[in-house]
């Protein structure tokens, strides 16, 4: 029995060995032929690395020229004889721009303003031209004024005066109605307010102008454009980049200054705004400039701590002398929300003037009246576009003419 088992085991092993040899042979036949390793050759135009010692190639005979055969430029010969070294010219400093004169600037920008404001004037003239001015018509006139953000109290005053004058004078022709409406709107906007930006140097030193406002209203850009306005009017200016919280704010302001030749005083990002404002005024005194413009951080009016810091900036600057102007920059497209901002800023610093930006867009012209009534201070400048010279001194007559059209 043992021999039988042994014979079976040997047979199994023999069969396995034969099967392995067959499979191995098949695999060999299926394998592809080995490929040769690729040969990488350098381009013929590539110079070989220099070799030294025994590996150095024998020198090749090449045509050579003597020094006498080489023609040198006259300038090079002169420089060589003198032993001087030619230095590349430094890049030219950016050209100083001459800003557009501010006199009559609003008149020149009137068409831009009227494109988005004519609806107010045309709507009022259309209503006043009706054959019968009944109560429904006067309510429509009142609604038109309220929609334009004029405000409740100013609207009621204007409607009451219009009703009285139309009834007494009996005006009906378009020319008479337009003249009547123009007179009342100019009166409402305020024709006698002092809208001069106080920017003239005095005994204490340069005039100091603080520019304040929330994020996103175009405050730094407005500060740069205001520098152009002052330079155009013959003022010398130093800029203070006290907005240290917004990245690149100082770079942006410095670019505006360089374009009109105004120096910018700045500090490290995240530095103390009050310290930078102080240094800016100090620099303005040392240079004897007319005006120091200080761009403050675009702090949100809802953050009490930051508003307190704005008050600190003003107090620190006043160590040099009085602050002549505090201009509040408002985005005209925000409407009544701008009045909320105005109230809070007025509690921290004494606002002396208002700058309304983006008045050429979807803004409603009545905000001029509303914000003046809210703060009791005049609108002094308005922004009418993205151009460098699109900041204009506010002129009530030209503004009303743009509102009601020709």
Q: How confident is the model at residue 227 (pLDDT cuts 50, 70, 90)?
A: very high
Q: What is the mean pLDDT of residues 82-90?
A: 42
Q: What is the mean pLDDT of residues 365-390?
A: 87
Residue 256's pLDDT is 92
Q: What is the mean pLDDT of residues 102-109?
A: 74
Q: Between these two residues, 363 and 358, which has the higher pLDDT value?
A: 358
> Phi and psi of 294, rounded to 5°?
-115, 115
Q: Between these two residues, 74 and 39, which has the higher pLDDT value?
A: 74
Tell me the C-alpha distance between 257 and 239, whole Å: 7
Reported as a single tens digit per residue, the pLDDT across 235-275 is 999 999 998 888 788 999 999 999 999 999 998 888 889 99
Q: Between these two residues, 31 and 397, which has the higher pLDDT value?
A: 397
Reported as a single tens digit per residue, the pLDDT across 152-192 is 999 999 999 988 888 887 766 778 888 888 899 899 999 88
Residue 203's pLDDT is 86
What pTM does this model have?
Answer: 0.72
Q: How confident is the model at residue 87 (pLDDT cuts 50, 70, 90)?
A: very low
Q: How confident is the model at residue 93 (pLDDT cuts 50, 70, 90)?
A: low
User: Residue 74: pLDDT above 80?
Assistant: no
User: Residue 377: pLDDT above 80?
Assistant: yes
Cβ burial of 182 (10 Å; 0-12, 13-18, 19+) is middle
User: Residue 43: pLDDT above 70?
Assistant: no
In eight-state DSSP terms, residue 202 is: B
User: Residue 230: pLDDT above 90?
Assistant: yes
Residue 295's pLDDT is 93
Cβ burial of 189 (10 Å; 0-12, 13-18, 19+) is buried
Q: Are 367 and 335 in contact (CB under 8 A)?
A: yes
Residue 192's pLDDT is 86
Tell me the C-alpha distance between 18 and 23, whole Å: 9
In whole numbers, what is the pLDDT of the chain averaged over residues?
77
Q: What is the mean pLDDT of residues 14-29?
A: 57
Residue 25's pLDDT is 54
Q: What is the mean pLDDT of residues 124-139?
A: 85
% the chain with pLDDT above 90: 26
Q: Between these two residues, 172 and 135, which has the higher pLDDT value?
A: 135
* Lateral strand order in the sheet of 207-212: 263-265, 237-241, 291-295, 207-212, 325-331, 353-357, 379-383, 391-393
Structure tokens at 39: 């040969």
Residue 255's pLDDT is 93
Alpha-helix residue ranges (DSSP H) falling in 129-272: 135-147, 152-169, 174-189, 219-232, 249-260
Tell me the C-alpha distance between 132 and 22, whole Å: 115
Structure tokens at 332: 């005209």
> Phi and psi of 205, rounded to 5°?
140, -160
């Amino acid at each position: 029995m043992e021999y039988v088992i042994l014979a079976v085991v040997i047979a199994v092993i023999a069969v396995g060995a034969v099967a392995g040899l067959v499979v191995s042979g098949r695999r060999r036949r299926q394998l592809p032929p080995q490929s040769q390793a690729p040969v990488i050759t350098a381009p013929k135009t590539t110079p070989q690395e220099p070799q030294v010692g025994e590996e150095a190639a024998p020198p090749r005979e090449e045509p050579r020229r003597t020094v006498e055969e080489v023609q040198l430029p006259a300038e090079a010969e002169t420089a060589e004889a003198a032993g001087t070294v030619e230095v590349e010219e430094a890049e030219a400093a950016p050209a100083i721009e001459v800003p557009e004169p501010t006199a009559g600037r609003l008149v020149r920008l009137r068409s831009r303003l009227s494109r988005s404001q004519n609806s107010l004037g045309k709507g009022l003239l259309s209503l006043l031209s009706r054959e019968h001015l009944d109560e429904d018509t006067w309510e429509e006139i009142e609604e038109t004024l309220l929609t334009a953000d004029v405000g409740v109290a100013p609207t009621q005053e204007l409607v009451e005066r219009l009703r009285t004058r139309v009834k007494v004078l009996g005006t009906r022709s378009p020319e008479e109605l337009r003249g009547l409406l123009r007179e009342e709107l100019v009166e409402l906007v305020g024709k006698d307010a002092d809208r001069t930006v106080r920017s003239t140097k005095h005994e204490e030193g340069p005039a100091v102008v603080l520019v304040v406002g929330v994020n996103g209203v175009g405050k730094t850009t407005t500060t740069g454009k205001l520098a152009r306005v002052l330079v155009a009017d013959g003022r010398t200016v130093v800029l203070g980049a006290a907005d240290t919280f917004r990245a690149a704010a100082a770079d942006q302001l410095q670019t505006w200054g360089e374009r009109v030749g105004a120096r910018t005083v700045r500090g490290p990002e995240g530095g103390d705004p009050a310290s930078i404002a102080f240094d800016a005024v100090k620099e303005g005194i040392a240079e004897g400039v007319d005006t120091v413009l200080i761009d403050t951080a675009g702090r949100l009016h809802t953050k009490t701590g930051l508003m307190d810091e704005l008050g600190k900036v003003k107090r620190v600057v006043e160590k040099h002398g009085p602050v002549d102007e505090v201009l509040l920059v408002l985005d005209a497209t925000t409407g009544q929300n701008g009045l909320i901002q105005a109230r809070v800023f007025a509690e921290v610093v004494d606002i002396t003037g208002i700058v309304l930006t983006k008045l050429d867009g979807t803004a409603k012209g009545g905000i001029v009246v509303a914000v003046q009534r809210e703060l009791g201070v005049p609108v002094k400048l308005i922004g009418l576009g993205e151009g460098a010279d699109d900041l204009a001194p506010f002129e009530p007559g030209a503004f009303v003419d743009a509102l009601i059209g020709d």
